Amino acid sequence: MARRLFGTDGVRGLANIEPMTALTALKIGMAAGRMFQRGEYRHTVVIGKDTRLSCYMLEQALTAGFTSVGMDVLLLGPLPTPAIAKLTRSMRADLGVMISASHNPFEDNGIKLFGPDGYKLSDDTEARIEELVTGGVPLVDSKRLGRVRRLEDASGRYIEYVKSTFPSGKRLDGLKIVLDCANGAAYKVAPTVLWELGAEVVPMAVTPNGTNINAKCGATHPQALAEAVVTHGADLGIALDGDADRVVMCDERGREIDGDQVLALIGRTWAETGELTGGGVVATVMSNLGLERYLEGRGLHLRRTQVGDRYVVETMRDRGYNLGGEQSGHVVLGNHSTTGDGLAAGLQVLAALVAEGGPASEVLRVFQPLPQVLKNVRFPSRDVAKSVMAQAAVTDAIAEAERRLAGGGRLLIRSSGTEPLIRVMAEGEEEGRIREIVDWVCAQLEARVE
């Protein structure tokens, strides 16, 4: 079944403009609530959010939708996306909802849905919810309306869970860590976790005001983190994004450590301890060829998926892997979580840092990446971006770019599933050559916008 409302990571768009309006959120609540009622018992949905101004509006609209079809609602407040996935399972809820647009600016927002098992919904399930949104859902009578309450200790439950993923008996004493919370969902829980494990924490971007989430901070803007690490003489810098499901780091010299390096480090560590399952790691087509070569050198393999952590997770579950992620910093630890968890991934890296005892610049620099150039071309809307990609002239330009690479690298061009962008990435041995090719392809795309 085709999906029009849902993208690669739930429903997303500009707040107060379709589909991110109170009315559509109400309908999604009604449709999802009706679909996940599968017996005569009281059904429950948990709802979390990040720190965007529009979260108040969408939270109330979703709550109205769920209660109108007889579903009880547990409000969790601002918490990371992985916390919502975890609490959906631990609270025995029928459904989980996270209101967030992840790394996007505050003007955007989104709705992510989790099933009772804590995993994101399948494409087919989302398509069925869309059918109900379009077709309408009957309301329950007044005596069967759902009830609403707030779970006051939700953040404490997540803090204790995340700490449990850190090796028992180990501590972070003596480590100074700069922590950038992107003014987002983890602004309270993340500093608390590191402090309780013994680290000296230098917090950044922990004063959300509804409009400063991801604003020149967080995992998508690590420059401020790098400067702070050097200024404070810290051992490591950790940056989360707005909903804390991804992580990017900086070593003590301020050099960025992306998700590929994190996957390599955790993969090597788990392979050595016998924890790694599936014989390798799952990553997307965006991951660096250097990661693939590094894993192969250690008798492991890299299985690639299309872009999106949901597709990484699906492959992990289908193929028996317990480690996967994306270069952008989504890292899924199958032994602990059902979705990307930036804080839990950061703790795995810190555990390796403590165990090996060396500086981050040595321990976390696991392999030498091949030169990779990525540029985004922005369009007025996602529909315009898709139409440009379908043009014959663009198809011919892509073929010409691949011919220029002549087997000396790889080219990947795709429409973003969450923003009005076309992403152009090339990778190869010669950086100058691939940069020239990327610039040329971007120019061809920009020339097709009317």
Catalytic positions, written as ranges? 102
DSSP 122: P
Q: Residue 224 is which amino acid?
A: A
Taking the C-alpha atoms of residue 183 and residue 209, their distance in angstroms, rounded to an integer, is 8
Taking the C-alpha atoms of residue 323 and residue 50, their distance in angstroms, rounded to an integer, is 26
For residue 177, give both structure tokens.
Answer: 């860590």
Residue closest to 282 by CA, chosen among 247, 327, 348, 345: 327
Residue ranges in 69-150 assigned as alpha helix (H): 81-90, 123-135
Residue 31 contacts residue 137 (beta carbons within 8 Å) = yes
DSSP 330: B
Placement of tokens 């559509």 in the chain: 24
Taking the C-alpha atoms of residue 435 and residue 428, their distance in angstroms, rounded to an integer, is 10
Residue 298 contacts residue 43 (beta carbons within 8 Å) = no
Residue 24 contacts residue 59 (beta carbons within 8 Å) = no
Rg (CA), the chain: 22
Residue 302 contacts residue 283 (beta carbons within 8 Å) = yes
Taking the C-alpha atoms of residue 238 and residue 201, their distance in angstroms, rounded to an integer, is 10
DSSP 2: -
CA distances from 429 to 225, 228, 296, 405 (A): 29, 32, 18, 10
User: In sequence order, what are the beta bridge partners of 283?
Assistant: 304
